[in-house]
Amino acid sequence: MSKFINPFTDYGFKLIFGREVSKNLLIEFLNDLLEGERVITDLTFLNNEQLPDYPEGRGIIYDVYCTTDTGEKIIVEMQNRMQSNFKERSIFYLSRAIVNQGRTGHDWKFEIKAVYGVFLMNFIMDKNIKLRTDVILADKETGELFSEKFRQIFIALPLFKKSEEECETNFERWIYILNNMETLKRLPFKARKAVFEKLEEIADVASMSPKERELYDNSVKVYRDYLVTMDAAEKEGIKKGMEEGLKKGLEEGLEEGLKKGLKKGREEALNIFQTAIDMKKQGIDNQLIAEKTGLPLSLIESLK
């Protein structure tokens, strides 16, 4: 059993970044992320039900929604797998946070606060080779900032390869810990930054109450079941897609045919999961859904 929680699970992620008792962890993380730009002194957690529902992401996407002491809206998201239209969805989420600031009446003058989207990705997005991608609204030709009201930060966790000794900034130390937390016997960097000592206390599995441990264990099971199931479904889908791709390759060119096969395979895997969600909404028995889709019963039971 690991000493520290897995931050890539729903409960683990929110235990660290989504509770009032651990609010300072999120503040410190965001300040290290935005070092040199601004300093956040306080946060208020908002109901993330204000964010649009995204059934395809249940089990692998976890959100924390909050506002700063000066009114900026921040969405922090952990995502474990690439999803269809991922970039578009991230834009939509932030756009909704802007639209929700609107007020009726003649007195409102479109005085919106900035929105930030911080996306921790446990995968590599497209052909990206950067650990961190900062997206802003800027002039295409000059690069001059057009507006500071919309900001996205994408962090591709698998691209971080530094060892503990090679970490130079607090941002790098955060990423190192998140990437390796479940396998660590102790949390490093406590002498450099006091917040890591607090993180060690909160993330210690042994410090959980029986109820917290039960919730965490269930979260881990759902996370693992989902990944295993999606891997199997994706491989089967890719196999079928590759067969079609090879056939099309004779007509369209082998490389293009294989690309289409891979894409179709991933789509088929996601369709299986969406089918389970639709059946659940119709009130169909969980056991029957599991039998029809091939998904684990524990995963079906976790769907809402």
In the chain, how long is the greatest CA-to-CA distance? 64
* Residue scoring higher pLDDT (298 or 29): 29
Average pLDDT, the chain: 83
- With tokens 């059934």, the residue in question is 55
SS3 state of residue 125: coil
Q: How do residues 75-125 score in pLDDT, each as one tens digit?
A: 999 988 777 788 998 999 899 999 989 887 778 889 999 999 999 998 888
Partners of 138 in the β-ladder: 145
CA-atom Rg of the chain in angstroms: 21
Residue 66 exposed, middle or buried by CB count within 10 Å (0-12, 13-18, 19+) = buried
Work out whether strand 61-68 and strand 73-79 pair parallel, antiparallel, or are unpaired.
antiparallel
Which of 63-67, 166-170, 208-212, 286-290 is the least confident region?
286-290
In three-state form (DSSP H/G/I as H, E/B as E, the rest C), the secondary structure along 196-240 is HHHHHHHHEHHHCCHHHHHHHHHHHHHHHHHHHHHHHHHHHHHHH
Token pair in block for residue 109: 């003058």
The rounded distance, in Å, linking the Cα atoms of 177 and 199 is 10
Task: Map out the domains of the chain as residue ranges.
Answer: 10-207, 211-302
Tell me the pTM: 0.75
Give 153's DSSP letter: E
Task: Return the closest-CA partner of residue 97 out of 83, 85, 112.
Answer: 112
CA 196 to chain centre: 22
CA angle 280, 13, 295 (to 5 degrees): 30
Q: Please write the tens of the pLDDT for every residue from 194-250.
A: 999 999 999 999 999 999 999 999 888 877 877 776 666 666 555 555 455 545 554
- Residue 287's nearest CA partner among 278, 296, 57 is 296
The reported pLDDT for the residue numbered 57 is 46
- Averaged pLDDT for residues 179-186: 94
**CB of 35 within 8 A of CB of 171?**
yes
